[in-house]
Amino acid sequence: MTEALWQVVLGGILAVSGGFLQQEYSLRRNQARQKKLLTHLLSQVIQEVNRIIRKLIETYDKTSIVYVLYLTELSNARVSYDRNSDWAVLFDDDLRRGVFDYFAREQVTRSYLHVLISLVGKPEFPPDHVKSETVKQIAIFRELAVQGDGLVDKVKRA
């Protein structure tokens, strides 16, 4: 009887540990799949944001005008990131901070450019000040484009 009891106990232990291992395997496989999808999504979003930033810079260099259309495109291009940013926990701390910094700087710069555009032509705001602040924000966008290129490479390697 004791041998049968030990066989039942051993069978129970094997069943529980097998179930646990299967659940752990499924969890890790799902995390790997989610990370792969997020990696692809994130690299595509950063590339699209960079494309728009470069278009904005190119237009500004030719015309000295920042078109609201480009700012709206930037806002729309990052929607996928905004909706899925919680999944960034799947990346290491350095990459996660880099991605957060990139999108935070893009948002602040874009918002400030919106404000500057709204000040154009208002007598209480000197045109030279608005122009110099716009040039500073364009310089930040130039830095962001370079940062974005580096991030795409890091995200694809993650």
With respect to residue 2, please indicate whether it lies within any of the assigned structural domains: no
- Residue scoring higher pLDDT (144 or 124): 144
pLDDT digits (tens, 9 = 90+) for 21-35: 778 777 778 777 877
Inter-residue contact 46 to 155 (CB < 8 Å): yes
Average the pLDDT over 61-76 and give the result.
96
Q: Per the structure, how many domains does the chain have?
A: 1
Note down the domain range covering 76.
Answer: 38-157
In a domain, 123, yes or no: yes
Q: How far apart are the first and last CA of the chain?
A: 55
CB contact set of 41 (below 8 Å; sequence gap of 6+): 80, 81, 84
Among 36-40, 60-64, 71-75, name the one with the lowest average pLDDT: 36-40
Q: Residue range 46-50: average pLDDT?
A: 97
Share of the chain above pLDDT 70, in %: 99
* Within-domain flag for 114: yes
* In-domain check, residue 124: yes
**What integer pLDDT is reported at residue 1 of this predicted model?**
57
pTM of the model: 0.80
User: Per residue in 1-12, pLDDT tens?
Assistant: 578 778 777 777
pLDDT for the residue numbered 114? 95
Q: Is residue 61 part of a domain?
A: yes
Does any domain span residue 82? Answer: yes
- With respect to residue 53, please indicate whether it lies within any of the assigned structural domains: yes
In a domain, residue 87? The reply is yes
